[in-house]
Chains A and B, each alone.
Chain A
């Protein structure tokens, strides 16, 4: 896989990589870093807007994966989207100055999107960006405020002056539009 400069393995390769990680093979971390550091760092930088803070978070997330590889359940999803969401959630914690938990979350993330190889994943990213580009600017803005700025729907409503119900609807329909792009 190549997602804007990162390479992701297909499912079998990923399973083997996880097995090496769980076996304590340090070289597996080098491989994982080479493949997924772009995803984690990109999300962290987008949320935090600070390269040093994003680098620290990148370090933290990979170290926690090394310490607790069981946190990722390969049966319930793929590593790339899982790491992306973990990076986003942790970055929001940093942004809101909330203490980071000792272990990374065990969120089930199964995109249902074909991420078996570099080409399909590159296409997936392009498709996401394309779908976002199709959304009305107000809707895309609300989605980004909720996801990348970690704002609650009340905070978004206060900032935009839009009713709470409108914010709710825009967020849900924006997510469904991304899903629809891959249907």
Chain B
């Protein structure tokens, strides 16, 4: 009850909106949140202010004010009425619907057909693209095969056979080099497997100057490999070829020892 007495006077101010002390206002609002008795007293005080307001009745508004209000109301449909009108509009569309539904149904059917045709079109396009890719791959393979064949049959092709150095197993690499194009094919057999991170690297030995990198390769599980390589610069004469073991990715200069070298 001490609380209620404490808040009694501020409640009256609060009911009139006349309480302007922020701290008192906050305290009172917090108290009202938990005190039903003070909330009831606040309602009673508001009713008291209503009595005070009624004391001001007497003067009458000008006659034009009534017509002004009614005209404004007539010009402003109520929200409820607007909702009803909107609802009727929707219902009206549905009721008049058997005729209006036909174009909608036709549109739906056309839309479905269009989607099916589009899907089929996309499927055909995918198939065409796949076939084109396969054809291109086949053409590439054929071109490579023809190129290899031409190279092998070309009398200008420089033929060399690399054999194992003494005390080495019988690995062998045949090189086919077309200097005018800078193209190179090797056929490797019986190569020893390489440690991880290592590759074989072929070196072209020109008549003058340092050996030039001529491609890297690694044997398959049976020790064999065929490789095609194109030198960056065609027209280089090859005096011989040699093979070393290099780190994966190859080297710019050979790492000794040479593991395969020409027999001639």
- Spell out A's residues near B (CB within 8 Å): 3-6, 24, 26, 29-30, 33-34, 37-39, 41-43, 45-46, 51, 54-55, 58-59, 62-63, 66-67, 77, 80-82, 84-85, 87-89, 92, 107-113, 124-125, 128-129, 132, 143, 146-148, 150-156, 165, 168-169, 171-172, 175-176, 178-179, 182
Contacts and interface: CB of A to CB of B under 8 A. Distances in A.
A168 B11 CA distance: 9
Interface in B45-89: 45-62, 65-66, 68-70, 72-74, 76, 78-81
**Secondary structure of the A side of the interface?**
helix
Interface of B: 8-13, 15-21, 43-62, 65-66, 68-70, 72-74, 76, 78-81
Nearest to A133: B55
Q: Which 9 A-B pairs have the closest CB atoms?
A: A81-B50, A84-B53, A172-B12, A152-B20, A46-B56, A4-B58, A168-B9, A175-B48, A42-B57
Contacts of B56: 42-43, 45-46, 84, 148
Secondary structure type dominating chain B contacts: helix
A67 B50 contact: no
B37 to A, nearest CB: 16
Given A38-B57, A152-B20, A171-B18, A109 B47 contact: yes
B65 A55 contact: yes
B9 A128 contact: no
A82 B15 CA distance: 14
B55 A128 contact: yes
Contact of A128 (B13, B52, B65, B69): B52
A152 B69 CA distance: 33
